[in-house]
Structure 1
Amino acid sequence: MTSYRTIDIAREVGIHVNTVRLYEQIGFISVAPRSANGYRIFSDKHLYQTKIARLIVHGKWPGKPIRNSGMKIVRAMKEWDLIGAHQYARDYVKAINEEQEKALVAIKTLENWGNNIYASSKVETYNRKQTAAIIGTSPEVLRNWERRGLIKVPQKSNKRVYSSLEIERLHVIYVMLQSNYKIVEISERLQLYDKEIINKIPNEVNQRRDEHISNMRSHWLEVSDNALENAMKVLDLLNEIFQTLHL
């Protein structure tokens, strides 16, 4: 089996030697044995672990669900659970595609709001638990968004009732949070699309709103495409391991 020094791993992956040490320290890769003089001795296993961890954690923030899905692969690789890592990698691709679809829906919603087109509130309604499942979050998160003033939800018989109007707003909030917007920033931007003021805002604000939509689209297309490209590289590396080890 090939052995590597820290600098060899760093050169193979294209990272700094301190990053290799950090990956070991925080548990992205297995702890390397030491030589008699105290130097780390890495193996092919460590090389693959480092390559895969780098593909998953490097780059712009892709949103918490994507990051969490990717970290399952990293943890499986640390334990050298190749079967689990391969399954998690397939789930990772699925998660990226799902989050990209949510982002595109949210962006289309913002475009519709900019043209004064809103979902109807006079259609089928859902309770908080059902709505959380649709959005891909938890009921407590929805409560928090309401407490923070991001959305007002009508009540019926003292229970929150979510229609398509509320759900499309929740989709936008969800995607903006995954884009790393702060709560106050989301609140400010949502005001640019509120139905009550959409026809009253000046042209320069309309222009700023359009720039916001364009920036969100560019961000998610770039980030999700990069994440998907790296996810496919992870799958290729796992297939390479299986072929090399004849698994």
Structure 2
Amino acid sequence: MTTLRSADLAREHGISPQAVRNYERDGFLPPAERTRSGYRIYTETHAAALRAYLALVAAYGYSAAGRIMTALHRDALADALTAIDRGHGQVLRDRVTLDLVRKAVNHLTAEAPADRASDLRTIGELARHLGVTAATLRNWESAGIVVPTRDPATGYRVYRASDIRDAELAHLLRRGGYPLEHIATVVEQIRTAGGTDALNHALDDWQHKLTAQGLAMLTAATRLSRYLDTWSGRPC
């Protein structure tokens, strides 16, 4: 069995040996055996685990990647697969939303959505619809992204169809990593019928990011499978 040092594992990925030790400490790599003098003994299994973890980071982010690896190392394969499934589900939802927004772009500047009483939503209802918190919607309001009216009887916020459209666009663009200032500019452009060039540019950029994430998921699946094939503690 070939033995490796933390520096050997780190060199492949351009990270520090301390990072490798931290990943082991946090459960992202399987525990390493120690020499009599206390030095860690890494193997090709640890190298495969590190490749899998870093590929998962690129595909699903640090939090999800950590959950996947620690679940595997506590023999909870179902939990690891559930985390992976959630990641794929979110990407699918993003693709569907992106497609819907693209189809709607040609109509965004033509006419604002009709505000029917049946379409009005409270802040709680809109937050649940988007999967965000009410505090997030209030932040978007402060940034000028959504401008709900107030119910004259209760004083509560009321979101019309046009507000819901703006909030859905904001949600998509936030997931693409755009700052609130940029999103406010895009939404204002749509409101004033000044054209949709900024929106189209943002959607193209988000499409590229989703494509890159999809390819990263394929890479992560391959490296995770290779790791499981080499790991003697593989869960059943």
Same fold, TM exceeding 0.5?
yes
User: Shift in Å at residue 58 of structure 1?
Assistant: 2.7
TM-fit CA distance, 1:149: 1.9
2:53 equivalent in structure 1: 53
Aligned residues: 230
Distance 2:2 2:83 in 1: 27
- C-alpha distance in 2, partners of 1:246/1:142? 42
In structure 2, relative to structure 1, the CA distance for the partners of 1:216 and 1:83 (3 Å cut) is closer
2:113 is aligned to 119
Map of 2:135 onto structure 1: 140
Instruction: Tell me if 1:159 matches 2:159.
Output: no
Paired residues of 1:82 and 1:238 also in contact (CA < 8 A): no
1:216-227 → structure 2 map (5 Å cutoff):
216-220=206-210, 222-227=211-216
CA deviations on 1:86-141 (whole Å, 9 max, x unpaired) are 2322222222222332333344444532x525433214222222211211211221
2:170, 2:62 → 1: CA distance?
A: 18
Correspondences of 1:16-165 after superposition (within 5 Å):
16=14, 18=16, 21-25=18-22, 27=26, 28-30=28-30, 32-36=32-36, 39-43=39-43, 46-58=46-58, 68-77=63-72, 79=74, 81-113=76-108, 115-122=109-116, 123-156=118-151, 157=153, 158-165=155-162
Summarize the Cα distance change of 1:67–1:139 in structure 2 as closer, same or farther, 3 Å threshold.
farther
Percent sequence identity over aligned pairs: 16
Aligned partners of 2:112 and 2:162 also within 8 Å: yes
The answer to whether residue 180 in structure 2 is matched with residue 183 in structure 1 is: yes
TM-superposed deviation, 1:41: 1.2
Segments of structure 2 that go 5 or more residues without pairing to the other structure are none
Residues 84, 215 of structure 1: CA spacing in aligned structure 2 closer, same or farther, 3 A cutoff?
Answer: closer
Measured after TM superposition, the shift of residue 70 of structure 1 is 4.1
| Deviation for aligned residue 1:235 | 6.1
SS state at 2:13 partner: coil
TM-score, normalised to structure 1, is: 0.73
How many angstroms apart in 2 are the aligned matches of 1:163 and 1:91?
31
Of 146-155 and 82-91, deviating more is 82-91
Q: 1:24·1:31 contact (CA, 8 Å) conserved in 2?
A: no
Q: Which residue of 1 aligns with 2:13?
A: 15
Asked if 2 retains the 8 angstrom alpha-carbon contact of 1:96 and 1:227, the reply is no
For 2:235 and 2:196, locate their aligned partners in 1 and report how far apart those are by CA, in whole Å: 59
TM-score for the superposition, normalised by structure 2? 0.76
Q: Within 2, Cα distance between the matches of 1:169 and 1:226?
A: 30
- RMSD, aligned CA: 3.5
Measure how far apart 1:151 and its partner are: 0.8
Q: Unpaired runs of 5+ in structure 1?
A: none
Counterpart of 2:81, as a letter, is H
